[in-house]
Structure 1
Amino acid sequence: MTTYRAPRTLAGLAAAGLLALTGCGTESTDAAARNPAPSGEGRSIRATKVAHVTDVHEATGMTLLEGPVLDGDGNLHVVDVTAPAGEPKVISVDVTTGKHRGVYTDKTGAYTSAQVSPYDGREYLTDFATGSVVSIAPDGSDPRTFFSGKVDGSAMTPDDIAFDDDGNLYVSDAHGTEPDETDGRIVRIDRDGKKTTVLADGLAQPNGVMFDPGLRGLWISELAKDTISYLLLDADKTKVTSRHEAIHVDGGLAQTDSIAVDADGNLYQALHGRPAMAVFSKYGARLATVEVPAKDAEGLQSATNVAIAPGRTAAYMTVSGSDGGYVYKFAALAEGIRQSNGG
């Protein structure tokens, strides 16, 4: 999710969506040679349009798709962060046909991410506007407030979610959205929603949060610093045993948004301010840059997140801008796993 100030109005997070599936993939070697990524950005991977999901809302002046997650039927759910009351805030997209429909809305929520719990199978949504976490049934029914209130005396500004295998939540708290503020946190919420633990603090607008394939630690991105850090956890996953900045993302005007991993441990870093994703190895090498076609890029300002299908390399990226919210597809460098699907 992206935390905004001016263009990031309405909760200051990146989430834009539209799904129209037409097919996608990686360029051939010849095509990539004709359209190479800039020096230092690895090879170029061209994404193809799947669906046009939303248009700019008159009431909010923007649309922002986020939180792509594949449900049990293979449909992609995305959230529209800036959708006004009554308009779809969670949207289901058929990635084969590109058809889409609203599955959930309410009056007040500004949802910045979606993730399915491995414990109860419900879909969990971070509400940037109210500081709460809401869960819904897969069909959008039975909304419940899973968590709300303060953590260690401070209200939450929840952005992205990661789950461990037991269903405990790890949430990026983008607390403080001014450039010089470093009071963001990574917070663990036990699966019953009752106990919270601050795993890391002093962060500059933490956004993406995702486990590595072995669930030994968390990769986190800080939007205000353009960095990706690694938090090694203890066996109970209730304490950080070591923490270091691992990668500095040279994005120019673009900033680090949500983050995902594949089965090989490669990192997919979404870029707020550019309709692209940077792909790194777990050791920090820039492997590739995923980009939309040049003819589409002018009206699209940000790529916010990606879901990689577990057991496959099909990757679905949410992209938004003045032309609306879209879903694009590309071939990931390795297969997806549970942690690849949503966040």
Structure 2
Amino acid sequence: MDAKKDITILTDFYTEGPVIDSNGNIYVTNLLGKEILKYDGDNEFSVWATCTSPNGQFISSNQEHFICNSLEGSIERFDQHGNHMETYFQGQVDGHLVACPNDLWIGDQGMYFTDSVRYAGAVLFIDKSRETSVIANQLDYPNGIVFDKKRNCLYVAESYKNRIIKINLNQPNHPVSTLVKLPSHPSADEARNLPDGLFLEEDGKLWIAHYGMRQYHCYDIEEQRLDSFDSQITRCSNIYVNDDCIVLTGGEGEPGPGRVRIIQRGKSAADETQKISKLTLGTVALGLPYVVFDDNLPVAKSSASDIIQKAYQAGITAFDTAREYGTAESLLGNLIEQDQLRDAVIISKFKWSNEACHDDEKALVEALASVRASLQQLKLSKLPICLFHMVSSFDVQSVKGILPKVFARLKELNLIEKAGVSVDHPLEIRHFIDDDIYSAFQIPINILDHRLTSTNLWKELVDRKKTIFVRSIYLKGLLLQDPDHLTGNLVEAKPFLKSLSAIAVDAHMSISQLCFSYIRDMEGVTSVLIGPDKEEQLMENISLENGPEIPKDTLNKITTLFAEVPEHLLTPRLWKM
């Protein structure tokens, strides 16, 4: 297996059915690609076997593979070398015609599997002598299935009810109850929910792939606690977990392209699976009047709190704030105190006075006061990511000399986990990139701004595996304005905005999607920072996250047309409106 911590492999077809054999080999299926794939390492899969429509997969104790052949209504059996042995099952069970076997689980007692049908789906059983029976029926698209040996019950993802059900096998009629109701997509579209594959660890942690939510969850059955993570796969279909790794399957849609994500892990470190979401919610506009091209009216506290909660429910786990953002830190802190933002990654910032740039002691005193005040407002004992807010008027050489010592002290005091810098100008990165104390950077970049990305500095930043947050992707809203309504020195932006509009039309995208996709798909970008002050803006950005990629010829056109945009147009503090 690759030694990388977290890798994602692109495949031609949407993927399903992840399993790992006793030798550590990873296998996945692609239902519409008609293949069972084996991971060869180095980000490559090869065809291990073929099947008409392979879906859920289970490896038995003797290393045989059993495959749900969904479109044929059958279950197929393969030996450990990929040779097809037989059609293990096809047909009816107690008058129920199996239409679409989806997932299965095999143990000493036999095989349990799901038949995925709307409203009339079923869970079925085949014992060792191949006698069959219906375990539960009239389910609304039963999907992933696992067996809990300790409690003698089944857990099944009932997709269109957006829940995990428990089927009690201790009683003859196998009563069905809700184990856990899952978070719903803010759009209220049931197709954006749909829990899919399941995996149960021996310690009672139930892992859930949440197809429509772009998430995967870990549900602690004993503690009845649900932790949610960003799958980084638009449609996350299934999950497999062992001591070494987590394997996620799915893709951008069906039939494809597909994705397989492999996250290396430690058995006792489920928290290591937590990732910064691809979107980060910026809170400046929620805490004070901020927007340039809008009404500048602050959002009511209740509305701001609703926006934060809806973002979290939609899978956003990273929240950017600062001491200077008005009530933003206290808004987050109130929700954290109410346990509404469990395991969220909070990024906050501090800066110091001009005098502190030349005084080590003053810099430390001001930094400590700011960070401690942030922790108090945020109701945290330790800040996950702490950034220094670099101001262009600061003496950068002085900052460069003092800041590492300040961050080292903050870490010694256990006040922060990770340190970094939020730069004012993209090229300020050059002053901080070489110091290993900085693991995260926040940088203003947009589709017109190639000052950093056109240099070797960007490649160096990416190669060093730094956490990169990109902000100002719409250039404070300028990129979304009507070119004919610009005033002051922004009139000079008119030809660039018209070119941007023409490119968007040619690419069959909205301007906002073009701007978003450009940053989202840029190599090395960890998370795109968005700053909505209204729920509608939040939902639009969430929808943009799942939008199309920009064609390669369009990317080349962007690079050419926007190679020399004037500095004052790219720098909001130089605008004269």
**Residue aligning to 2:200:** 261
Counterparts in 2 of 1:215 and 1:70: CA distance versus 1, 3 Å: farther
CA apart distance, 1:165: 2.7
Q: 2:16 aligns with which of 66, 85, 96?
A: 66
CA apart distance, 1:241: 4.3
Does 2:140 align with 1:204? Answer: yes
**Residue aligning to 1:231:** 167
Residues in 1 aligned to 2:152 and 2:69: alpha-carbon distance in whole angstroms:
27
In the alignment, is the contact (CA less than 8 A) between 1:279 and 1:288 conserved in 2? yes
**Residue aligning to 2:90:** 148
**Residue aligning to 1:222:** 158
Residues in 2 aligned to 1:103 and 1:302: alpha-carbon distance in whole angstroms:
24
Greater relative contact order: 1 or 2 (C-alpha under 8 angstroms, separation 6 or more)? 1
CA apart distance, 1:190: 1.6
In the alignment, is the contact (CA less than 8 A) between 1:126 and 1:158 conserved in 2? yes
Counterparts in 2 of 1:207 and 1:188: CA distance versus 1, 3 Å: same
What letter corresponds to residue 184 of structure 2 in structure 1? G
- Within a 5 Å distance, the mapping from 1:312-323 to structure 2 comes to 312-321=243-252
Residues in 1 aligned to 2:164 and 2:9: alpha-carbon distance in whole angstroms:
30
Give RMSD over aligned pairs: 2.5
**Residue aligning to 1:243:** 176
Residues in 2 aligned to 1:196 and 1:215: alpha-carbon distance in whole angstroms:
22
Residues in 2 aligned to 1:249 and 1:277: alpha-carbon distance in whole angstroms:
11
From the two aligned structures, give the one with the greater strand fraction: 1
Does 2:60 align with 1:102? Answer: no
SS in 2 for 1:143: strand
CA apart distance, 1:22: 6.1
Residues in 1 aligned to 2:221 and 2:268: alpha-carbon distance in whole angstroms:
13
In the alignment, is the contact (CA less than 8 A) between 1:313 and 1:334 conserved in 2? no
SS in 1 for 2:77: strand
CA apart distance, 1:154: 2.5
In the alignment, is the contact (CA less than 8 A) between 1:51 and 1:98 conserved in 2? yes
Does 2:68 align with 1:121? Answer: no
CA apart distance, 1:82: 1.1
What letter corresponds to residue 28 of structure 2 in structure 1? V
Q: 1:164 aligns with which of 89, 107, 120?
A: 107
What letter corresponds to residue 247 of structure 1 in structure 2? V
In the alignment, is the contact (CA less than 8 A) between 2:8 and 2:261 conserved in 1? yes
SS in 1 for 2:128: coil
Larger Rg: 2
CA apart distance, 1:184: 1.0
Residues in 2 aligned to 1:232 and 1:334: alpha-carbon distance in whole angstroms:
29
SS in 1 for 2:57: strand
Show structure 2 runs of 5+ residues with no match.
186-191, 271-577
In the alignment, is the contact (CA less than 8 A) between 1:171 and 1:186 conserved in 2? yes
In the alignment, is the contact (CA less than 8 A) between 2:194 and 2:212 conserved in 1? yes
- Within a 5 Å distance, the mapping from 1:23-34 to structure 2 comes to 23-24=4-5
TM-score normalised over the length of structure 2: 0.42
In the alignment, is the contact (CA less than 8 A) between 2:68 and 2:103 conserved in 1? yes
Does 2:30 align with 1:80? Answer: yes
Counterparts in 2 of 1:215 and 1:67: CA distance versus 1, 3 Å: farther
In the alignment, is the contact (CA less than 8 A) between 1:21 and 1:328 conserved in 2? no
Residues in 1 aligned to 2:86 and 2:269: alpha-carbon distance in whole angstroms:
33
Residues in 2 aligned to 1:333 and 1:276: alpha-carbon distance in whole angstroms:
20
TM-score normalised over the length of structure 1: 0.69
- Percentage of pairs with the same residue: 22
In the alignment, is the contact (CA less than 8 A) between 2:29 and 2:36 conserved in 1? yes
Residues in 1 aligned to 2:237 and 2:267: alpha-carbon distance in whole angstroms:
19
Residues in 1 aligned to 2:69 and 2:133: alpha-carbon distance in whole angstroms:
19
CA apart distance, 1:101: 0.7
In the alignment, is the contact (CA less than 8 A) between 2:103 and 2:144 conserved in 1? yes
Residues in 1 aligned to 2:157 and 2:223: alpha-carbon distance in whole angstroms:
13
**Residue aligning to 2:220:** 281
Counterparts in 2 of 1:21 and 1:317: CA distance versus 1, 3 Å: farther
Does 2:23 align with 1:92? Answer: no
Counterparts in 2 of 1:160 and 1:21: CA distance versus 1, 3 Å: same
What letter corresponds to residue 214 of structure 1 in structure 2? K
**Residue aligning to 1:51:** 9
- Within a 5 Å distance, the mapping from 1:298-337 to structure 2 comes to 300-309=233-242, 312-321=243-252, 324-330=257-263, 331=265, 334=268
Counterparts in 2 of 1:143 and 1:321: CA distance versus 1, 3 Å: farther
In the alignment, is the contact (CA less than 8 A) between 2:14 and 2:32 conserved in 1? yes
- Deviation string 1:126-170 (CA, Å, 9 cap, x unpaired) is 01111110010122113310011111223212111011234x110
